[in-house]
Each structure stands twice: as C-alpha cells, then as structure tokens.
A = this chain, B = another copy of it.
Amino acid sequence: MKILVSEVGPRDGLQSITSIMPLEAKKRWVEAEAAAGVTEIEVGSFVPAKLLPQLADTAELVRFARTIPGLTVAVLVPNLKGAEAAVEAGAHKITIPLSASETHSLKNVRRTHAQMLDEVKSIVTLLNGLPIDRRPKFEGGLSTAFGCTLEGVVPRDRVVALAEALMSAGCDEVGLSDTTGYANPAQVRDLVRQVRAAVGDHALTGLHLHNTRGLGLANVLAGLEVGITTFDSSLGGLGGCPFAPGASGNIVTEDLVFMLEAMGLHTGIDLQKLIEVRRIVRDALPSEDLYGFTPDAGLPLGFVQESKL
C-alpha cells in the first residue's frame, strides 16, 4: 500500500524556531527532499511577515517549488488574504487551520468558529472563480482535535460537527491535527472513525501528529489501522524538542518513513537519501537541534527497502 508522507518542516518546523533559514537553503532543502522521493511539501504559510519573519519568503519558495516535477506544493493560510497570496504564487494545495478549541482559536487567530467558517466560505468563493487548472486543493485542518492546552478535553462531537461544517462550507477535505501532543492510539482510531462516518472516508485521509509525549508513531499506527493514508511530519523533527516552550514536536520524517517502509508500506522515499537531507538543514541552522532516532541509530543490518527491490 502507498502512504503519502507530507513534509511540513519548512512550515511547521521553521515557524517554531527563531532562527531564519535563508531562502537559498530552503530551496536546497525542498529540492533535496523531493529528490529523495517526497511528493508533497508544505513550504510555508501566508501570514504577515511581521508575525512570522521566518516564513516571509513563502511566495518565492512556492514559485521555486512549483518547478520541481511531481511535487505537490502546499501552504498554510490563516484567512482569505493568505489564500489570495497562495493562489497568486501558484500553490497546489492550501490548508486553513480551524482550532476545535474556540479558546485556542480566539487566542491564535482572534476569531470564533463562526468567523473562521465565514473565512472558509470566502476562500471557497475565491477558488470557485478560478479556472480549473489553477484551482488549488483546499483542506480544512482541525487543530487541537485531540485536546487543548487551554481547554483540556475537546469533546469528540464538536470535532465531528466542525468537520461537517468545513465540508459544508466547501472544503475538499478535512485533516485532524494533534497540535498539543495529547492524542493516544485509542482516541485516534475512535475520532477518525467518527469523523469519517460523518463526512465520508474520502474526506478524511490525513493526520498531523506530534510526538510531545512520545506516542507519535503509535498514533500513526492507529491511524493506518483505520484507513489513514497521509501523515504530516518534519525532517529532523525541526521545530524542536517537544517540551521546549513553543516547540511543535512534529513526528520525525526519518523515523516515520523507517517505520512505514519496515512494515512493507511504500512511501516512494529513499531512506538513505532522506537522511542525507539533514545535512542541508544542519548547515543552514547550526544552532538548532535536530531529532530522530533512526538517523542516529542507523538502519538495521540487512535492512532493504521493499519498495526499492
């Protein structure tokens, strides 16, 4: 079975650190990871440069990444203005985050659920006015779907209702994000099943998981068991130590790909080449820590990627 590993390091990783990676290094990173076989990369976020100077060059990076054959170039947008910029730059996929915790939504983007859903509808209107070959895929990403550091438990029914609202508003699909690293495998199975029952299997194929409490790959396994085929991850776990303040704690692309390939699932990614991409990130960000067990431990003796046979 083919699994899509969606690299989010250039967006989620870089936005979580204070160092700014030069555009040329970002280009080398995206190019090398695509050459290793990664077919979808979230290269940035269209937010005001004064809020996230790390991602101020997103438009230029999108234009560059579009020149790489076979690569789906994804970006995050917080609102209609961001979506306009994403369309202008030519992104293939745009994701708008909607926090299942309204407290978190208000704090993060100063908008209620209703206001965010209005924003989603405006974006859909924008997209529907585009010629079909310029229309990016549009995902609603439900953040804090597994719990919130401000509200605590997020009721499952609320997540299901918001997923339905996003689809009704015109999203092409929804995703579930464990923004806080609260998810456990039983909850992943349950929430995915419930949301799929409400919006249809085709409308939920992706999970964005963190490793804040060490359960990231166990949660991936739970997701696989209920039909999830797309997983976000960050090369070198960039964005940092999951327990450092402000750190994202994304699951590590290298460990994720190792697990999937070892299980006989096909990612299309060459593990050895993927691990070599770390050097580009390390050279460009010498003061940032990189994470991941597999790169340090090395591949098992005699390990052969089935997909390369």
Q: Is A105 an interface residue (CB 8 A)?
A: no
Chain-B contact segment, one of A131-139, A156-164, A183-191:
A183-191
Say which one of A28-36, A85-93, A112-120, A207-215 lies at the interface with B.
A207-215
B263 contacts A300, C-beta separation under 8 Å: no
Q: Give the Cβ gap from A302 to chain B, nearest Cβ, in Å.
A: 3
| Nearest B-chain residue to A221, judged by Cβ | B218
Task: Kindly supply a per-residue 1/0 record for chain A positions 128-170, scoring 1 wherever the CB is within 8 Å of any chain B CB and 0 otherwise.
Answer: 0000000000000000000111111100000000000000000
Q: Which residues 197-256 of A sit at the B interface, judged by CB distance below 8 A?
A: 211-215, 217-218, 220-222, 242-243, 252, 255
A181 CB–B CB distance under 8 Å: yes
Minimum CB–CB distance for A47 against chain B, Å: 26
Contact with B along A271-307 (1 / 0, CB 8 A): 0000000000000000000001110111011100000
Instruction: For A301, give its contact among B149, B218, B221, B296 (CB under 8 Å).
Output: B149
Q: Please, how many angstroms separate the alpha-carbon atoms of A255 and B216 in the complex?
A: 11
C-alpha gap A153/B259 in the complex (Å): 16
| Contact of A184 with B293 at beta-carbon distance under 8 Å, contacts A147-B301, A302-B147 already known | no
Verify if A46 is at the interface (C-beta below 8 Å from B): no
* Bound-state Cα–Cα, A153 to B137, Å: 43
Q: Which residue of B lies closest to A298 (CB)?
A: B243
Q: B302 near A212 (CB under 8 angstroms)? A: no
Which single member of B150, B218, B264 contacts A218 (CB below 8 Å)? B218
A242 & B147 in contact (Cβ 8 Å cutoff) = no
Q: How far is the CA of A221 from the CA of B183 in the complex (A)?
A: 14
Does A68 count as interface, using CB distance less than 8 angstroms? no
Interchain nearest-CB distance for A100 vs B (Å): 14
- Could you tell me the distance between the alpha carbons of A265 and B272 in the complex, rounded to whole angstroms? 38
The chain B residue with its CB closest to the CB of A184 is B262
8 A Cβ contacts from A67-84 to B: none
A257 to chain B, nearest CB (A): 11
Does A180 make an interface contact (CB < 8 A)?
yes
A297 surroundings in chain B (CB, below 8 A): 181, 212-213, 242-243
Cα A243 to Cα B294 in complex, Å, equals: 9
Q: Pick 12 A–B contacts, CB within 8 A, sort by A.
A: A148-B301, A149-B301, A153-B302, A184-B259, A185-B259, A186-B262, A186-B263, A211-B293, A215-B293, A217-B217, A218-B218, A242-B296
Given contacts A217-B217, A243-B297, 17 further A-B contacts (CB under 8 A): A147-B301, A151-B301, A152-B300, A152-B301, A184-B262, A186-B262, A186-B263, A187-B262, A212-B293, A213-B300, A214-B259, A214-B292, A215-B258, A218-B221, A242-B296, A243-B293, A243-B298
